[in-house]
Amino acid sequence: MKSVALHNLGCKVNAYELEVIGQKLQKKGYFIVPFEGKADIYIVNTCTVTNIADRKSRQMLHRAKKRNPDAIVVAVGCYVQNGSEEKLLDESIDLAVGNNRKKDLPEILAAFLKERETGGTNLSLAGKTLHHTSIVDIAAQRDYEEMGLMDCREHTRAYIKIQDGCNQFCSYCIIPYVRGRVRSRRQEDILAEVASLAERGYKEVVLTGIHISSYGMDFAGKAEGDYLTGDKGGTALLNLIRSVSEVNGISRIRLGSLEPRIITEKFAAGLAGLTKVCPHFHLSLQSGCDRTLKRMNRHYTAGEYSDRVKILRSAFFRPAITTDVIVGFPQETEEEFRETECFVREMAFYEMHVFKYSAREGTVAAAMHGQIPESIKSERSAVLLALEKEQSNGYRRDYIGKKIRILTEDTLEKEGHLYRVGNTETYVKAAFPIARRLSNDGYLPDTGGNQLVEGRVTGFLEDEILLMDI
């Protein structure tokens, strides 16, 4: 049977989907080999969120073809879903598969191989898309494409995809065009996957998707538009989380990126009533300036964002609030940037991902006048990155002297000593020595990975890893 090498670019949803694809191929008899070596088939799960992501996708496809010119190179996902005919006719691509056909990739590949044996495929657009069937109009898709994991590469944490698509149409973002409208996964399918992973020993799940705050809007008959403007926004997601929390064996539930407007008193209180929900929330900000937010077509103001953070901090004890910020958005003045800097300082985030605006061809923002020079973007990015480091260190430092509980994951060697490393509920890394003498003839045994361990924080092992005594 043929060998297959897999490579992922982009988000956690992409990573989840590629894992499912790999498991499906193994079930069909293919064997998975490292991407760095020679394979019969290379599958690249592509990304197109920025022009840089496009370039990385092209580079990886070319690299695969160079490693084995006789191999079949399959381009999957966002890059080809948004691809012009010129992109798809790249000689490094033998087969192109769109986002809503990923679940059928083993069958598509089998059909492609059969046609190739009879000389039916070629480097034309029809040949690369199985006569225009492997890439179809995703905007017309209304049903969720069911994909489920049987196992995960990570030994402790499993990512569970609960929805696809986005209806927000931020002015800088291409994702609604390549992922389509909101499509939610049936709750029974999600719970079956969670239960199966729990039986295999996974203790922590992360509910992820393209825009999970819109989960269930299509079930309510609202496949178009902005569900969060209504009074029922978040109800379906909260009900799902409640059901996941009832699955035996699951100790922790994390949530992917949330729309700030989903955080209402009712939603936060519902989460706080579930002991398995981790007080770790990623609320995407993008800018602390209302004028910039309006140009971005974000659907909230900085004041409304601040109110949502206050709700979370009232409902949970010292929750970890993380965010994304874009600097150098078109027309962003120095005054507007300073508003964002002041707002970020006031919010005191645990972590902040800072991105320099990158024009994405095909979006509204890319055509805006007032594009900011790269040098100014870099200066503004450096300011926020320094602030992020200061705030993140401060959040971690507040744990010194306090008791914490981590889910153990990795092993770290430092200065000749071994440490077991894990994450707290707030996603702060901490470590403890694996073999510490308890008495003249006894040692504290290594608990291994995937164990919940409690201890008291005594200081820092490294800049971003706390040291704990258990």
* Domain stops at, among 136, 169, 187: 136
Same domain, 286 and 428: no
How far is residue 166 from each of residues 1, 58, 138, 142, 163, measured CA to CA in Å? 38, 25, 12, 12, 9
Same domain, 209 and 67: no
Same domain, 437 and 413: yes
What is the value of pTM for the model shown? 0.90
* Domain stops at, among 347, 368, 395: 395
34 located within any domain: yes
Residue 436 to residue 419: CA distance in whole angstroms: 10
363 located within any domain: yes
Please give the pLDDT value at position 39.
Answer: 95
* Domain stops at, among 395, 417, 438: 395
Residue 320 to residue 278: CA distance in whole angstroms: 9
- The domain containing residue 66 runs over which residues? 3-136
Same domain, 389 and 414: no
Residue 436 to residue 467: CA distance in whole angstroms: 13
Identify the residue whose tokens are 């936060």.
268
147 located within any domain: no
Please give the pLDDT value at position 438.
Answer: 44
Same domain, 223 and 347: yes
Same domain, 87 and 211: no
Please give the pLDDT value at position 87.
Answer: 82
Can you tell me whether residue 362 is helix, strand or coil? coil
Please give the pLDDT value at position 369.
Answer: 97
Report the number of distinct structural domains present in the chain. 3
Can you tell me whether residue 254 is helix, strand or coil? strand
Same domain, 363 and 253: yes
Same domain, 114 and 168: no
Same domain, 50 and 175: no
Please give the pLDDT value at position 437.
Answer: 44
Averaged pLDDT, groups of 10, the chain, 470 residues long: 94 93 94 94 94 92 95 94 82 93 94 83 81 87 84 77 95 95 95 94 96 91 65 84 97 97 95 98 98 97 98 97 98 98 98 95 95 98 98 98 95 90 97 67 60 96 95
CATH of residue 14's domain is 3.40.50.12160
Same domain, 272 and 335: yes
145 located within any domain: no
418 located within any domain: yes
CATH of residue 381's domain is 3.80.30.20
Please give the pLDDT value at position 223.
Answer: 63
Dihedral sign, Cα of residue 358, residue 360, residue 361, residue 366: negative
373 located within any domain: yes
**At 353, which amino acid appears?**
H
